[in-house]
Amino acid sequence: MKGIVDRFEGDYAVIEIDGQTQDVSKSIVEVSVKVGDVVTLVEGVWKSSHTETEQREKKIKKLMDDVWED
């Protein structure tokens, strides 16, 4: 299962999974995970996928550059 970390609220991480947000206990989220990371559920723990996060960031940057191009 994959998702994107939307935000942290108290003891929960809010993760968007298939267009729906889900509150997940921070106790099962890897400490290094940050907002905007693509995460994968591996053996009951949400872990950051660095490669997919970088790809997502590049795609978003390109879209923003296209929108704001002079």
Per residue in 6-61, pLDDT (tens digit) is: 999 999 999 999 999 999 999 999 999 999 999 999 999 999 999 999 999 999 99
- Long-range contacts at 12-20 (CB < 8 A, ≥ 24 apart): 13/46, 15/39, 15/46
The runs of H, that is alpha helices, within the chain are 50-67
DSSP 40: E
Residue 42 has a pLDDT of: 96
Beta-strand ranges (E) seen in the chain are 2-9, 12-17, 20-25, 38-42, 45-48
pTM, whole model, 2 decimals?
0.82
> What SS3 class is residue 23?
strand
